[in-house]
Amino acid sequence: MEMTMRWYGAAFDTVKLEQIRQVPGVKGVITTLYDMKPGEVWPQERIHALKREVEAAGLHIAGIESVNVHDAIKVGSPDREQYIANYIETLENLGKEDIHLVCYNFMPVFDWTRTELARRRPDGSTVLAYSKAAVDALDPERMFESIAGETNGTVMPGWEPERMAKVKELFALYRDVDDEKLFANLVYFLEKLMPVCNRYDIKMAIHPDDPAWSVFGLPRIIINEKNILRMLKAVDDVHNGVTFCSGSYGTNLENDLPHMIRALKGRIHFAHVRNLQFNDGMNDFEESAHLSADGSFDMYEIMRALYETGFDGPIRPDHGRMIWGEVAMPGYGLYDRALGAAYLNGLWEAIEKAETRGFDK
């Protein structure tokens, strides 16, 4: 595996490449052209410039998160052909710049959903949190306003203002799209992408729906082992793979994370590893520190399953807590993600050495 950190680009991120470069073991970033709208073609010159910028800081681009998918592709409207052609052109431009990993999601309307961006924990840190009661009481069209005050002036991924202005229209678009239709549209999209992915060896890594169940009555498909295996089989090409996000699949306590990793062997191209603390079954959870003891998951078992299945893609610490007075995009500050990277690297080293050297009796 390669330890990486997500970076949104100099114009959007509060964290600098020079700081990322000082996190032990991190040589790669997962980045994006954050100002590109879903459906636009990414110009090769801009990808090239981004690459140069990252390389000038002594790092490299380990993958893109995300090239967002236009809603026409998700709902399967006639104009999807143009948007798929544009997506293919973007992949070509990425391939020409020697980039071989693309994370994307196929979630309708909303990317990830949380109801609080700064819940205070006993240690004084603040974290993203989800409460079912809050979701049930929420008018989805107002979700963004209800938490907008807590973004620390940053633009949250998937919650871009232009997109949020159109929430009502977006809901109308999905009126006739159920899980099966969404699944068929995903397969249609992936089949069209596979030739270009094969030509440039680009691995597509779908991000799970977060949380891993339907919110606001919208269809959701990338939520459990059965559905992912169905998707991988439907387009049975190694370039059709997944981003294994423990914090997203883990929202559903029925998902046995190490078991899922083993079942997806060979098709996990990217991993987001973080912990969650459940407070009231699945009705309430918050994004604790990465450490096993701070949350509900056994992080050692998650890392061990990745190790044992021969995972060799990029891994990144995921959302971090806001600590030590840092003001940053919720989930994407420097300090706690750096602690997460160090911890995950430590687990990996211990697993690897125990495996290769064994323990002295």
- Residues found near ligand DNO in the complex (CB under 6 A): 65-66, 103-105, 111-112, 157-158, 207, 331
Contact 331, 111 (CB under 8 A): no
Which residue's CB is nearer to ligand DNO, number 93 or number 105? 105
Which residue's CB is nearer to ligand DNO, number 255 or number 351? 255
Sequence-ordered strand ranges (E) for 42-100: 60-65
Sheet with 126-131, side-by-side order of all strands: 116-120, 126-131, 284-286, 277-278
DSSP 143: H
CA–centroid distance for 310 within its chain: 21
Whether 272 sits among the annotated catalytic residues: the reply is yes
Whether 207 sits among the annotated catalytic residues: the reply is yes
What is the smallest separation between the CB atom of 8 and ligand DNO, expressed in angstroms?
10
What is the smallest separation between the CB atom of 128 and ligand DNO, expressed in angstroms?
9
Q: Which of 319, 335, 336, 343 is catalytic?
A: 319
Which residue's CB is nearer to ligand DNO, number 221 or number 358? 221
Tokens for 177, please give them: 């799209």
Which residue's CB is nearer to ligand DNO, number 12 or number 351? 12
- How far apart, in whole angstroms, are the C-alpha atoms of residue 21 and residue 290? 20
Q: Which of 83, 130, 332, 343 is catalytic?
A: 332
What is the smallest separation between the CB atom of 358 and ligand DNO, expressed in angstroms?
37
Contact 39, 83 (CB under 8 A): yes
- How far apart, in whole angstroms, are the C-alpha atoms of residue 254 and residue 76? 31
Q: Which of 100, 239, 269, 272 is catalytic?
A: 272
What is the smallest separation between the CB atom of 66 and ligand DNO, expressed in angstroms?
3
Which residue's CB is nearer to ligand DNO, number 70 or number 207? 207
Give the residue nearest to ligand DNO (CB).
66
Cβ of 142: how many Cβ atoms within 10 Å?
11
Which residue's CB is nearer to ligand DNO, number 65 or number 97? 65
Q: Which of 210, 245, 269, 290 is catalytic?
A: 245
- Cα distances (angstroms) measured from residue 33 to each of 10, 20, 41, 65, 66: 10, 18, 11, 9, 8
Burial of 80 (0-12, 13-18, 19+ CB in 10 A): buried
Q: Which of 71, 209, 210, 318 is catalytic?
A: 318
Whether 100 sits among the annotated catalytic residues: the reply is no
Whether 245 sits among the annotated catalytic residues: the reply is yes
Whether 332 sits among the annotated catalytic residues: the reply is yes
Strand partners for 29:
5, 61
What is the smallest separation between the CB atom of 205 and ligand DNO, expressed in angstroms?
9
Task: Single out the residue of 349, 341, 332 nearest to residue 3, CA to CA.
Answer: 341
H/E run at residue 242: strand 240-245
Cβ of 294: how many Cβ atoms within 10 Å?
17
What is the smallest separation between the CB atom of 356 and ligand DNO, expressed in angstroms?
32
Q: Which of 71, 87, 130, 207 is catalytic?
A: 207
Indicate which residues carry an active-site annotation.
207, 245, 272, 318-319, 332
